[in-house]
Amino acid sequence: MEKYGRVAVLMGGWSNEREISLKSGAEVLAAMQRLHIDAVPIDVDKNILTTLQHAKIDRVFNMLHGRIGEDGVIQGALELMGLPYTGSGVLASALAMDKQRTKEVWLAKGLPTPRYLMLDDETDFALVATDIDFPCAVKPVNEGSSIGISKVDNEKDLEKAYISAKQLDKQVMMEQWVRGKEYTATILGDMALPLICLETPRQFYDYAAKYSEDSTQYFCPCGLDSKTERHLQTLARQAFEAIGARDWGRVDMMVDEDGRPWLIELNTLPGMTDHSLVPMAAKAAGISFDELVLAILDLSMCAK
């Protein structure tokens, strides 16, 4: 397909999500090869700009998960080079990677997201333990794939969870735990694809549940009535648009035991592995993996 020119599939990198990025990139590359697109795999290192120039690239399909690739850094570099790329731009990528800033935008827009507090070395853990009920989640603010997240059931484990998260990020968040069911909504262009309901025997949908455990169950149809599903799809689109995200992404949310939805996270560069949620949602909508890859690539043809 000559209209795309030479397409670089960026993958790998040096974030904590490197291995998942390599898997996602390999799946996307294989789809492009089946579609007869001139695609070049690039395992990203710190010479990436020189590599792109020498490879005479016309367009980029970004499959870099985590920092550098998902936080606005590579997006800014590609903007300077004048290279069209898939996914959200600089600002939305940076905002969505930062869980605190994402929440601040959602709250300013009146969108529901669980209460949170920021933790640091000066935090009085006994005091903050009175502000948010247990259990709670302690998270590195700038990591993806649930890396570094702990479920904390009592005050005595709170500081330990903070110290663990701090090894990955100097910014750490304590967030109210939501008891209920977890759903995810894929955004593709102007569509919200069918919701997926996730169930895992683990404490929560953590890294292992996402990428290696076969015990995780995915339900699509999600089990909700059509009116409720449409409401959650609308909420997901509002959350996506509030951040300024574009083209494609995934919004994760919980529905509590009283039926209230809570926005948890926006992923502007979701996984495309055989365990990933976006391809599952696309399949439920009648979109094959190859068609999904082509749809995302087509969105990069739009004016940025």
DSSP track, 31-75: HHHHTT--EEEEE--TTHHHHHHHTT-SEEEE---STTTSSSHHH
Q: How far is CA 283 from the centre of its chain?
A: 19
Q: Quick one: 100 and 200 in the same domain? A: yes
Task: Mark whether 256 is an active-site residue.
Answer: no
226 an active-site residue?
A: no
Residue 303 has what pLDDT?
47
> What span, in angstroms and rounded, lies between the C-alpha atoms of 281 and 34?
21
Beta carbons within 8 Å of 243's beta carbon, 6+ residues apart: 88, 92, 95, 96, 102, 105, 266, 268
The answer to whether position 304 is within a domain reads: no
Which ranges of the chain would DSSP assign to H, the alpha helix? 18-34, 48-54, 73-81, 90-97, 99-108, 125-128, 158-166, 207-211, 226-243, 277-284, 289-299
Q: How many CB atoms lie within 10 A of CB 36?
A: 9
- The pLDDT score that the predictor gives to residue 146 is 62
**Residue 301 belongs to a domain:** no
Residue 212's pLDDT is 54
Domain membership of residue 11 (yes or no) is yes
Residue stretches of the chain with pLDDT short of 70: 1, 144-146, 201-215, 303-304
Domain termination residue (choose one: 176, 197, 218): 176
Task: Judge if 170 and 26 occupy the same domain.
Answer: no
Q: Which of 61, 49, 51, 63 is nearest to 13 (CA)?
A: 63
Look at residues 132, 179, 178, 126 and name the one whose alpha carbon lies nearest to residue 157: 126
Active site residue 18: no
Residue 287 placed within a domain: yes
Per-residue pLDDT, 286: 97
Annotation marks residue 110 as catalytic: no
The per-residue pLDDT for 155 is 83
Res 25: pLDDT:
97
Is 267 in the active site? yes
CATH of the domain at 141: 3.30.1490.20
Instruction: Report if pTM > 0.75.
Output: yes
Q: What is the pLDDT of residue 145?
A: 52
Query: Catalytic one among 145, 146, 276, 300?
Result: 145
- Asked whether residue 104 falls in the same domain as residue 191, the answer is yes
N- to C-terminal Cα distance for the chain? Answer: 21
Which residue among 13, 16, 17, 24 is the active-site one? Answer: 17
Shared domain for 243 and 275, answered yes or no, is yes
Catalytic, 265? Answer yes
Indicate whether 238 and 105 sit together in one domain. Answer: yes
Of 131, 160, 176, at which residue does a domain stop? 176
Specify whether 152 is located in the same domain as 13.
Answer: no
Q: Are residues 131 and 166 in the same domain?
A: yes
pLDDT for the residue numbered 150: 86
Predicted pLDDT of residue 111: 98
Are residues 101 and 236 both part of a single domain? Answer: yes
The per-residue pLDDT for 213 is 60
| Residue 119 φ/ψ, nearest 5 degrees | -115, 145
Look up the domain containing 61 and give its range.
2-86
Helix axes 289-299, 277-284, angle to 10 degrees: 100
Task: For residues 103 and 163, state if they share a domain.
Answer: no
